[in-house]
Amino acid sequence: MVVFGATGVTGRRVAAYLAERAAETGARWAAAGRDTAKVQRVLGEAGVSGAEALAADVNDPASLLEMAARTRVVLNLVGPYTLYGWPVIEACVAQGAHYADLTGEIPFVRRVIGAFDARAAQAQVKLVQVCGFECLPPDLAVLLAAETARERWGEGLASVDLEVSMRTPPGLPRFSDTISGGTLQSLVAVMGGEDPSVATDPAALITDPVAAAEVRRVSPISVAPRRGPQNAVIAPMAPAAFINPPVIQRTMALTAAEAGTRPEPFRYREGMLLAGASATLPLRYGAAAALAGMQAGFAALARAQPSLRRRFAEALGTILPGSGFGPAADRLEHWSWRMSVQARTAAGHELTVEVAAEGHPGYLATARMLGEAGLLLAEPGLTPNRSGCLTPAAALGTGSLERFRKAQMRFSVSA
Ligand SMILES: NC(=O)c1ccc[n+]([C@@H]2O[C@H](COP(=O)([O-])OP(=O)(O)OC[C@H]3O[C@@H](n4cnc5c(N)ncnc54)[C@H](OP(=O)(O)O)[C@@H]3O)[C@@H](O)[C@H]2O)c1
């Protein structure tokens, strides 16, 4: 495997994970970046030694071809992907290397599907996007629920509610603990891109127009806060409520197409559970409303005049922090989080899938899960025999779930 963008906030953690896992499995990997001296220095500071450093720059197509030719899998950490992702994918498809990234930039994913799905399928290359906290755990959890319902009752899902709860380290989190400059600039790139209204479409990644219309009808995305069980407030997913739904809906469309059936539409709803004593209810509602307000603002701006949008994105891009900003190494541990998926079939059968994981969701757990996904993709025969533009769940399959224990993430099903 190659970790491209190994000097970044997330890339260095992916490299650290692979170094650890390579020692156990014998897998071979290298770290790539535009400045190999910086790659060596940053990895040294992160406690990773002995990695081979490859020179590759998104502005130098020959360097990307050379990198892709030397590996089975490229893990791409060079974002914003809207700006930098295309030539890396181009090189992987040309050289027959599988590809995985962490983008949440849905308009970009849709453009990639349009341009590369058939070519990648022909080359038997797996292009796996949105392969971090968004959207690997929820995507696999919902697929597990769907497969379990099919096995137990011979039925598809009618509705799914996914809630995430988090335990953060003691003390007040700093802004840099929650989000990186790379992620902020990626949100700005979507806003300033050609087709940002796609970013809020739950059917953005479904190519069949009839199936897409059904998804929009049955499962629109709402960012409004809701009341949860036991005084909890359910806030919209952060950093954006618009990333997981289209990926999950694409997984269902891909698996249905493979089975030769039409995807059965189901209502998918998600959120972050803010639990606490009843005295803190107004405070939690306030926090959820603030998150909802920001996301509703994003959705409104996505539909605004292109010139206005671009000016706003440009201004935001200069104000917000950039590359290098993000949680420090000592702020990544001591997080834990759970995802709970309540699934229901049309006949009223219910089941729960739980995901329990350790480490900062965006920048440590994400790095581990991407690293483990890379290891799975690199070993022939461990993942389903599919190629083209795949979601994490379609690429890895529920047969891979046990392996994610290595990445400190556990999946379980209960009736
Ligand atoms: N979905 C999720 O759960 C999730 C979680 C984490 C991150 N992400 C996404 O992952 C991406 C990376 O985030 P981050 O916070 O790690 O970003 P970051 O710290 O800004 O890292 C960006 C990386 O890109 C490299 N780079 C920039 N321009 C390059 C070029 N021309 N050629 C080669 N490399 C170049 C940088 O190298 P230099 O050091 O040489 O500048 C750096 O290694 C973002 O798009 C973010 O949104 C998603």
Q: Are 354 and 338 in contact (CB under 8 A)?
A: yes
Determine the distance separating the centroid of ligand 1 and the alpha carbon of 185, expressed in angstroms.
10
pTM for the complete prediction?
A: 0.96
What's residue 182's pLDDT? 86
Determine the distance separating the centroid of ligand 1 and the alpha carbon of 186, expressed in angstroms.
9
Cα first-last separation, the chain: 38
Atom of ligand 1 nearest to the CA of 131: 1
Could you tell me whether strands 73-76 and 98-101 are parallel, antiparallel, or unpaired per DSSP bridges? Answer: parallel
What's residue 222's pLDDT? 93
What's residue 369's pLDDT? 98
Atom of ligand 1 nearest to the CA of 104: 1
The answer for residues whose C-beta is within 8 angstroms of residue 256's C-beta and 6 or more apart is 262, 263, 264
Burial of 356 (0-12, 13-18, 19+ CB in 10 A): middle
What's residue 342's pLDDT? 97
3-state secondary structure of 311: helix
What's residue 174's pLDDT? 82
Q: Which two tokens stand for residue 57?
A: 């720059």
pLDDT tens string 201-229: 999 999 999 999 999 999 999 999 999 88
Q: Are 162 and 269 in contact (CB under 8 A)?
A: yes
What's residue 177's pLDDT? 84
374 lines ligand 1 (CB under 6 A): no
Q: Are 298 and 264 in contact (CB under 8 A)?
A: no
Tell me the best of 2, 12, 102 to mutate to test the pocket of ligand 1, counting ligand atoms within 8 Å of each CB and taking the most: 102
Determine the distance separating the centroid of ligand 1 and the alpha carbon of 278, expressed in angstroms.
40
What's residue 284's pLDDT? 92
Q: What is the DSSP string of 198-218?
A: GGG-TTTT---HHHHHHHHHH
3-state secondary structure of 342: strand
Residues of the chain with pLDDT under 70: none
3-state secondary structure of 412: strand
Residue 345 is inside which H or E element, if any? Answer: strand 336-345
What's residue 392's pLDDT? 98
Determine the distance separating the centroid of ligand 1 and the alpha carbon of 102, expressed in angstroms.
9
What's residue 258's pLDDT? 93
**Cα–Cα distance for residue pair 4/101, rounded to 1 Å:** 10
Determine the distance separating the centroid of ligand 1 and the alpha carbon of 13, expressed in angstroms.
12
- Identity of the residue numbered 173: P
Nearest CA, atom 47, ligand 1: 183
Residue 286, φ and ψ in degrees, nearest 5: -60, -45
- Identity of the residue numbered 112: V
Contacts of range 38-47, beta carbons closer than 8 Å, 24 or more positions apart:
38/7, 39/6, 39/7, 42/6, 42/7, 42/12, 43/6, 43/12, 43/15, 43/16, 46/12, 46/13, 46/15, 46/16, 46/329, 47/16
**Cα–Cα distance for residue pair 106/111, rounded to 1 Å:** 9
Tell me the best of 36, 75, 77 to mutate to test the pocket of ligand 1, counting ligand atoms within 8 Å of each CB and taking the most: 77
182 lines ligand 1 (CB under 6 A): yes
Residue 52, φ and ψ in degrees, nearest 5: -75, 135
Determine the distance separating the centroid of ligand 1 and the alpha carbon of 181, expressed in angstroms.
9
Tell me the best of 13, 78, 177, 237 to mutate to test the pocket of ligand 1, counting ligand atoms within 8 Å of each CB and taking the most: 78
Nearest CA, atom 38, ligand 1: 7
pLDDT tens string 24-65: 999 999 999 999 999 999 999 989 988 899 999 999 999 999
Q: How many CB atoms within 10 Å of residue 57?
A: 18
Residue 375 is inside which H or E element, if any? Answer: helix 366-378
What's residue 296's pLDDT? 92
Q: Are 181 and 299 in contact (CB under 8 A)?
A: no
- Identity of the residue numbered 174: R
